[in-house]
Amino acid sequence: MTRELEARGIEVVPSRTSFVLARLGPGTRQLLREHGIAVRRADTFPGLDDGWVRIAVRPPETTALLLEELDAVLGAAAAERGA
């Protein structure tokens, strides 16, 4: 999952745990929720703000769905900024 996030230009914190900390940007967590994807907020970790999320490592099919919806959310946000 880390490789896939980094390939999208997303900053991640290296981890050996069952989750990844990723900087998706403010508001992205809520947009993912609206697309049926739940990721935990990470602003409760010292030094992180509301742009960071905690993503649990899941089976490949679930991860593929997360990445698909993340692409949709990030693509929509980029299109709005360009409009």
Give the model confidence (pLDDT) of 9-57 as tens digits. Answer: 999 998 899 999 999 999 999 999 999 999 999 999 999 999 999 999 9
List beta partners, residue 13: 21
Predicted confidence (pLDDT) at residue 76 exceeds the cutoff of 80 = no
- Tokens standing for residue 7: 């390939």
Q: What is the pLDDT of residues 62-72, one digit of tens each?
A: 999 999 999 99
Confirm whether pTM is higher than 0.85. Answer: yes
Instruction: Give me the pLDDT at residue 20, please.
Output: 95
Domain 2-73 homologous superfamily, CATH: Aspartate Aminotransferase, domain 1 (3.90.1150.10)
The values of phi and psi at residue 63, to 5°, are -65, -40
